[in-house]
Structure formats: structure tokens, C-alpha cells
């Protein structure tokens, strides 16, 4: 009996040693594009011309926070803008948090060029990476999303 108990204990230690503890404690957040806003009003030069809203789903039972966010946006295959920002954004426990990020325009995307995308259906592609602080250390989470989005002339809300 003692030999069988010892073997079971050794097998259990071997199995649990091969399984990373983080698999039981942590799940990477899921990041999706919730909306894109193009500020086409020329009377507001201080407003950001492009804002992307991200939905960050944290399935963990503890809050997370970001260290850095990087992303780029293309509309109809044209590079529009990008950002690389070191910042702390709190992501609540077991919920979806919304994060709005202003992009720096690429050289191809002038305010006049953005007007072309101000209405109608356009293909968007967002690619990025967010670095999160977690109880098991820092985690780099990549995200990408593309599809068609309808833009309207109204510049007041995310589309």
C-alpha cells in the first residue's frame, strides 16, 4: 500500500509540475475594435482627427493594467494612423472595459484625405499589441481585426 501511495504522489507531482500555474490563474484579455471616429470638423484643430475605441474583455477575477499600447489603422488599404503609448489603463475585473485612443496621422492621411472616408462603407484593419501587468508578470497580447464599417457625416460619435 505504501508503494502505491508513493507512486501516486510522485505521478501527481510530475503532472502538476508540467502544467504552468498561470494556465489556472490567468487568461489573456481579448481586445476588439468597438468603433472608429473621424473628426472631420476643421473648426476644432485641437481635437484628435482619428479616435479608435477598443473593448478590452478581462475574464479574470482580478483587475489588470496596461503598460503600453501600440496599434495601427488602415482604411481601404491606406495607412491612416498609428500610436505607441506608454500608459497605465486599469481594466476592471471580469468585465469589458472601453478605452478610447487618439491616433497620430500618417503622412498619407491628411484631414482632406479623411473626408473621403467620412461617409459610406469602408474596409478597416487594426493591428496592435498591448502589454499588461498581471500577477504572473507582464504579458504581451496581440490583437488584429478587420472588416467593413459604415461611416456617416456626423462627427459626434464613434462609428
Listed residue (88, 33, 34) closest to 64, CA to CA: 88
Burial class (CB in 10 A: 0-12, 13-18, 19+), 73: buried
Please state the pTM of the whole predicted model: 0.77
Report which secondary-structure segment, H or E, holds 52: strand 50-58
Closest CA to 27 of 107, 79, 93: 93
Mean pLDDT of the chain: 83
Ordered structural domains, the chain, with CATH: 26-151 (2.60.40.10)
Q: What is the pLDDT of residues 28-45, one digit of tens each?
A: 999 999 999 988 765 445
Determine contact, residues 71/95, Cβ cutoff 8 Å.
no
First to last CA, the chain: 68
Residues with Cβ within 8 Å of residue 69, at least 6 apart in sequence: 83, 84, 85, 87, 89, 99, 101, 128, 129, 130, 131
Q: What is the pLDDT of residues 82-140, one digit of tens each?
A: 999 998 889 999 899 999 999 988 887 877 778 888 889 999 999 999 999 998 899 99
Amino acid at each position: 500500500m505504501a508503494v502505491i501511495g508513493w507512486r501516486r504522489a510522485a505521478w501527481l507531482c510530475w503532472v502538476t509540475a508540467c502544467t504552468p500555474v498561470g494556465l489556472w490563474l490567468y487568461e489573456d484579455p481579448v481586445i476588439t475594435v468597438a468603433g472608429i471616429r473621424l473628426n472631420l470638423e476643421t473648426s476644432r484643430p485641437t481635437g484628435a482627427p482619428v479616435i479608435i475605441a477598443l473593448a478590452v474583455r478581462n475574464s479574470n477575477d482580478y483587475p489588470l493594467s496596461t503598460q503600453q499600447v501600440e496599434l495601427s489603422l488602415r482604411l481601404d488599404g491606406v495607412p491612416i494612423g498609428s500610436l505607441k503609448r506608454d500608459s497605465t489603463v486599469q481594466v476592471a475585473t471580469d468585465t469589458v472595459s472601453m478605452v478610447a485612443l487618439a491616433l497620430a496621422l500618417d503622412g498619407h492621411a491628411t484631414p482632406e484625405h479623411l473626408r473621403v472616408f467620412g461617409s459610406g462603407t469602408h474596409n478597416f484593419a487594426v493591428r496592435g499589441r498591448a502589454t499588461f501587468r498581471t500577477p504572473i508578470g507582464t504579458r504581451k497580447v496581440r490583437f488584429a481585426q478587420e472588416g467593413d464599417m459604415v461611416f456617416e457625416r456626423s462627427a459626434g460619435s464613434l462609428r
